[in-house]
Amino acid sequence: MGSRYRVRASVMLAVLCGWPLAASAAANMDPAAPSEWAQWVRQQVQRLPASRAINAEQEKWLAETRSAGQPLYNPNLNLTYEDSAEVTKTVGLSQTLDWSGKARASRNESTLRLTLAELRGQKARVDLLAQSLQALIAWDAAQARLQAAREQEQQLSELAALIRRRQQAGDVGQVDASLTLLSVGQAQQSLAAAEALATHAQTRLREVMAIPTPAYTLPQQDLVSADAVAGNPQTRLQANYDVQLAELQLALAEQGVTLADKQRNADPSLGLYVGKEGDDNLWGVDLSLPLKFFNTDKPAYQQAMADSDARRALLEKTRNDIRARLDGARDNLTQQQRRWQHWQQLTQPSLDSSDALLKRVWQQGELTTQNYLQALNQSLEARLAGIALREALQQAWIEWLQQSAQLDEWLNALANP
């Protein structure tokens, strides 16, 4: 595997790094190596009805393009019969001659249309892949939030039961019991909200990938890369699908100007016929040339010129828009990665042992029940913040890959290390 692919694979492992809550949320699912996960994603997306619809639409575009590339003129079969002093019968063939080169210009236009149809199909498939990955990331984050809310609700329910027993024994007062019950009620509300978000994420996953749950969890690797994006994002400008489409559409419009210019020229028709006039054989040649006195095709040429100018301006606008998107996607990814790394360095170690430590300190009487409940809420908020930061980083990573036209290449490299 080349160094470029090794960098991209390491970045992917950094972005899709492990998260204990997500792992426990999908405990019944098989963990997968990054290559297995990537292969499953690619195969699942290829089996989607939306993917088959894209392929069919592309075939339609290609068929239309092939039809437009057919020869301009067909030969004509001419039969005549004249009954006067003598009966005259002739049969002949005539063909319009493409002296102005319309067919060549039309073939060049057809070639551009073929390339445009293939590029449209590629972009549609990459967009579908991006939607699928975004749905998987949202589902994973929703499961992590749900698991955190369940653990919090269970912990507070157990605490409430313990408080009631200690209240009956006279160890705690009514205020501590009331505060604990209020915290349980808040935990129930948080759990309900997390369940609603998980249902929404599952619905979205079924809409995009036609599955209720993924076959594998996101790859879990404790690896964070400090250089997710290196170099100038403008180097990826030319690879962007929207830019390529705009360039092809401009080339097609310019070729349309060439074709419209040739359409202004009249093509002659040449015919050859043989027959009999009475008992005598005859043959002849017929040459006809349209005279463009009334319909000069000038408006069509002017329309093609205007379309070319519009496409040129649209290309400039597209390049400007994509430059902004690339800069924004790169900056957002860098910022999200920095925030996630800081959270891991500062907060993750404290969370790993905070719950057990808080409970032990509270049981020893060194922490009031009110402060203990407040600390538990802060611990939950810190976990949820970590989940949100991780999801934002993953979504920013997919957005960058999509804007820089590296998504399909990255997934293929990941599936085939």
Q: pLDDT tens across 390-399, in order?
A: 999 999 999 9
Domain count, the chain: 1
Gap between the Cα atoms of 336 and 179, Å rounded: 37
Q: Which domain holds residue 380?
A: 42-80+101-138+198-266+315-348+367-408
pLDDT at 18 over 50: no
Q: Are 403 and 347 in contact (CB under 8 A)?
A: no
Q: Tell me: the pLDDT tens digits for 106-152?
A: 888 888 888 898 899 999 999 999 999 999 999 999 999 999 999 88
* Residue 3 banded pLDDT, cuts 50, 70, 90: very low
In a domain, 381, yes or no: yes
Gap between the Cα atoms of 46 and 157, Å rounded: 46
In a domain, 143, yes or no: no
DSSP one-letter string for 73-110 = ---EEEEEEEESSSEEEEEEEEEE--TT-HHHHHHHHH
Tokens representing 151 are 């653990």
* Residue 169 banded pLDDT, cuts 50, 70, 90: low
Q: Which residues contact 165 (CB under 8 A, 6 or more apart)?
A: none
In a domain, 65, yes or no: yes
Paired sense of beta strands 87-96 and 76-83, if any = antiparallel
In a domain, 336, yes or no: yes
In a domain, 15, yes or no: no
pLDDT at 16 over 50: no
Long-range CB contact pairs, 324-331, < 8 A, 24+: 325/403, 326/233, 326/234, 326/236, 326/237, 326/240, 326/403, 326/404, 327/233, 329/233, 329/396, 329/399, 329/400, 329/403, 329/404, 330/229, 330/233, 330/400
In a domain, 257, yes or no: yes
Q: Tell me: the pLDDT tens digits for 81-97?
A: 888 778 888 898 888 88
In a domain, 243, yes or no: yes
- Helices marked H in 100-173 — which ranges? 102-168
Stated length of the chain: 417
